[in-house]
Structure 1
Amino acid sequence: MREIVLDTETTGFEPSEGHRIVEIGAVELLNHMPTGRTYHQYINPERAMPKEAFEVHGLGDDFLRDKPVFRSVARDFLAFIGDAQLIIHNASFDMKFLNAELQAVGLPLLPMTQATDTVAMARKKFPGSPASLDALCRRFGVDNSGREKHGALLDSELLAEVYLELIGGRQPDFALAATTTQTGPRTTQSTRAAPRPTPLPSRLTDAELEAHKAFTAKLGEASIWAKRQ
């Protein structure tokens, strides 16, 4: 199963007011494991960056001026996500911006059914608790110390870790665990079996043991079998 953990940064809150996407970051998961494949693109919004957005993202007009516009990267972006399920924190926000950009360049829109909202997941799992990305990083012990500014790729990487915790860890369907150990704020599972308290009796007959001794004697004193006896 292929999933894409995705985040966007924008110039504001409403595409209907002329606000645009300035950055897209995405991380690929395969069967709930990161593959190492990512997508990251800064985008020229073709409008001035409001002061409030600059303070949040740290992306200014000078930095974005020479970046590609959305229509020039749209097909590469769609090719990367394909038909994978999109894992997004507050999915309705990002999806409305992505679809506004896609509509403006005449490309097919992304159906909301293709998006999984991790805010909704967190609120269902922890009702009444904060569901921001920072709050969930603290809850699960995910290191977000590098998140001084909002960045689409960094936030996608953090969200990927949070999402895997929300669904039960990196191997949510692996049910052969024998013991559980606590390591800091996270719980990890071990599948190593404990040693038998009493070794099983040998099933070799006396004749088989004698035949084995005769065979290993022919190998000489330097053989591994001679050293083990």
Structure 2
Amino acid sequence: MREIVLDTETTGLDPAAGHRIVEIAGLELLHHVPTGRTFREFINPQRDMPEEAERIHGLSAEFLADKPLFAAIAQPFLDFIGDAKLVIHNAQFDMKFLNAELKAVGLTTLPSDRAIDTVAMARKRFPGAQVNLDALCRRFEIDNSARTFHGALLDCELLAEVYLELSGGRQPGLTLERQQQQRGGAAQSVARAARPARPHSASDDEKAAHDAMLAKLSDPIWRQ
């Protein structure tokens, strides 16, 4: 089961108002486990950077000025995600921006059912609780101390751990399976010392106590 944890950073909240993607990142999962394959690109939005957006992700217009346009990274991005499901925190936001950018360069947009929204998963599991990424990291004791800014790739790495917990946590056999794969895929047999069988017949004292108890009963079934 291949999935892509996905995140974007933008100049604002709405592509219809002229806001653009400035960073996009993806992290590949196989059966909920990161494979090490990632995708990350900074993008020149061809516009200014609002101060409130820069305070969130730390990306200035000057830093982005020499970065590629979305048109240059669109096909490599689509090649990376393939037909995998997209794991996104607040999927509606990122999908709205991605589809606006794809449409602008004449490429096919992504259907909404491609996305797995971890915000919706968290709200269903923890009704009434905070479900932003920082809050979920605290809940699941995931170290997010490096998250001084919202960075797309770092957020993908944190979200991959959160998604694993929201999906039920690590399977008990996962560590053992990895250890066996590292040893060549075969479990090592362990020699066990044979133990003598325990005696189960009653002792003479136990038989005498049993006979004494029966003597106190009238017509016990054990003597019929």
TM-score range, shorter chain: 0.7 to 0.9
The answer as to 2:32 corresponding to 1:32 is yes
**1:89 aligned onto 2:72:** no
SS in 2 for 1:37: strand
Which amino acid in 2 is paired with 1:20?
Answer: R
Structure 2: state its 5+ residue gaps: 177-190, 198-224
1:32 Cα offset (Å): 1.0
d(CA) in 1 for partners of 2:106 and 2:41?
20
CA distance in 2, matches of 1:201, 1:8: 65
Structure 1 position 52 matched with structure 2 position 52: yes
Equivalent in the alignment of 1:220: none
The CA deviation at 1:13 is 0.1
User: Partner residue of 2:183?
Assistant: none
- Asked if 1:43 is matched to 2:43, the reply is yes
Partners in 2 of 1:126 and 1:84 — Cα distance? 27
TM-score w.r.t. length of structure 2: 0.77
CA contact (8 A) 1:23 1:42 kept: yes
Q: Which segments of 5 or more consecutive residues in structure 1 lack a partner in the other structure?
A: 178-194, 203-229
Query: Larger Rg: 1 or 2?
Result: 2
Which residues of 2 match residues 1-229 of structure 1 at below 5 A? 1-171=1-171, 199-200=194-195
* Aligned-partner Cα distance in 2 for 1:66–1:25: 18
Task: Count matched residues.
Answer: 182
TM-score scaled by length of structure 1: 0.76
Q: Is the 8 A contact 1:32 1:171 kept in 2?
A: no
Shift of 1:199: 4.0
Between the aligned partners of 1:98 and 1:76, the Cα distance in structure 2 is: 14
- Paired with 2:168 and 2:195, the residues of 1 have a C-alpha distance of 37
Q: Distance in 2 between matches of 1:130 and 1:95?
A: 22
- Give the strand-richer structure, 1 or 2: 1
- Deviation at residue 168 of structure 1 after TM alignment: 1.0
**Aligned-partner residue type, residue 39 of structure 2:** Y
The residue type paired with residue 57 of structure 1 is H
In structure 1, what is the equivalent of residue 200 of structure 2? none
Q: SS in structure 2 opposite 1:148?
A: coil
Separation in 2, partners of 1:95, 1:131: 19
Contact kept, 8 Å, 1:6 with 1:86, in 2: the verdict is: yes
Contact 1:4 1:85 in 2 (8 A): yes
In the alignment, the residues of structure 1 paired with residue 147 and residue 128 of structure 2 have an alpha-carbon distance, to the nearest angstrom, of 25
SS in 2 for 1:72: helix
Runs of 4+ in 1 over 2 A off after TM superposition: 198-202
Matched residues in 1 for 2:147 and 2:18: separation? 27
Q: Distance in 1 between matches of 2:117 and 2:49?
A: 27
**Is the Cα contact below 8 Å between 1:3 and 1:84 reproduced in 2?**
yes
Identity among equivalent positions (%) equals: 67
CA contact (8 A) 1:88 1:94 kept: yes
Letter in 1 for 2:158: L
Residues in 1 aligned to 2:113 and 2:194: alpha-carbon distance in whole angstroms: 55
Residue 201 of structure 1, CA deviation: 5.3
The structural deviation recorded for 1:171 is 3.0
Q: Deviations over 1:130-166 (max 9, x none)?
A: 0000000000000000101000000000000000010
Please tell me the residue identity of whatever aligns with 2:101: E
Q: Is the 8 A contact 1:32 1:164 kept in 2?
A: yes
Partner of 1:185: none
